């Protein structure tokens, strides 16, 4: 990738930030031509085209001018690059765990606190025979989704009970009191996702 430096010369240097796709997406969504954006930003139409195709990386003043022309903020452009790693791997033998009586929660994933609109946490919940959860018994804000991966589990929601077998799933508003119970004589397991995170494991 070539970079335009302050002298206007092109440098042969690989730049890790790709703004082009987002700039083009916003421009096309707004129905603006390359010429209109270029005129508003005070740059050439050719330069805008090259930036959109990630052929060149814009200088900061050019990027600010383009953002102003398209009426978008820099946080939108940089949000994908703030993350240290795009993929977080949790090895099966490295899961953080917490116990609630005889029930064991193993953390599968949890989004970073810097995430604003996409936060969630996910667990494997292991319920031995004749055990029940307590953490949601009073309800909390958010939404839950779970799927039974082993055995059978009873979901108690308000005054109703729902029998879930292996492969069955349930989703519901977490604001209503709820709990999971294993009424059988065999171990049961489920994968459970909660949003926003309750930070059950700190």
Better pLDDT: 176 or 150 = 150
Shared domain for 187 and 102, answered yes or no, is: yes
Position 77 in a domain: yes
State the sign of the Cα–Cα–Cα–Cα dihedral 94, 96, 100, 101. positive
Shared domain for 115 and 186, answered yes or no, is: yes
What does the pLDDT look like over 156-180, one tens digit per residue? 998 899 999 999 999 999 999 999 9
Q: Which domain holds residue 65?
A: 2-81
Position 88 in a domain: no
What does the pLDDT look like over 64-82, one tens digit per residue? 999 999 998 877 777 655 5
Shared domain for 65 and 107, answered yes or no, is: no
Mean pLDDT computed over 32-47: 94
* Cα–Cα dist 146/178, whole Å: 13
Q: In the listed set 38, 55, 81, which residue is the last one of a domain according to the structure?
A: 81
What pLDDT does 3 receive? 44
Q: In the listed set 26, 57, 81, which residue is the last one of a domain according to the structure?
A: 81
* Cα–Cα dist 102/132, whole Å: 9
Confidence of residue 17 (pLDDT cuts 50, 70, 90): low
Q: What is the CATH number of the domain that holds 66?
A: 1.10.260.40
What does the pLDDT look like over 92-117, one tens digit per residue? 989 999 999 999 999 998 877 666 66
Most confident of 32-36, 61-65, 88-92: 32-36
Three-state secondary structure call for residue 92:
coil
Q: In the listed set 46, 81, 116, which residue is the last one of a domain according to the structure?
A: 81
Q: What is the DSSP string of 129-188?
A: TTEE--TTTT--SSEEEEEEEESEEEEEETTEEEEEETT-EEEEETTS-EEEEE-SSS-E
What pLDDT does 57 receive? 81
Task: Output the CA angle 43-60-33, nearest 5 degrees.
Answer: 35
How many structural domains are present in the chain? 2
pLDDT at 149 over 80: yes
- What's the chain's average pLDDT? 85
């Amino acid at each position: 990738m070539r970079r335009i430096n302050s002298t206007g010369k092109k440098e042969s240097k690989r730049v890790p930030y790709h703004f082009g796709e987002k700039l083009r997406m916003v421009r096309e969504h707004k129905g603006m031509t390359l010429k209109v954006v270029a005129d508003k930003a005070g740059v050439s139409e050719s330069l805008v085209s090259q930036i959109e195709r990630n052929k060149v990386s814009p200088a900061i003043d050019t990027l600010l001018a383009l953002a102003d022309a398209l009426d978008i903020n820099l946080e939108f452009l940089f949000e994908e690059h703030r993350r240290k790693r795009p993929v977080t791997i949790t090895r099966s033998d490295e899961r953080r765990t917490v116990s609630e009586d005889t029930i064991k929660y193993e953390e599968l994933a949890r989004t970073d606190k810097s995430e604003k609109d996409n936060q969630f946490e996910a667990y494997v919940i292991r319920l031995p025979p004749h055990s029940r959860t307590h953490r949601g018994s009073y309800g909390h804000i958010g939404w839950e989704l779970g799927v039974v991966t082993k055995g059978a589990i009873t979901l108690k929601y308000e005054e109703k009970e729902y029998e879930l077998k292996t492969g069955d799933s349930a989703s519901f508003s977490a604001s209503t009191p709820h709990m999971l119970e294993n009424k059988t004589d065999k171990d049961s397991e489920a994968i459970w996702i909660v949003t926003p995170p309750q930070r059950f494991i700190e």
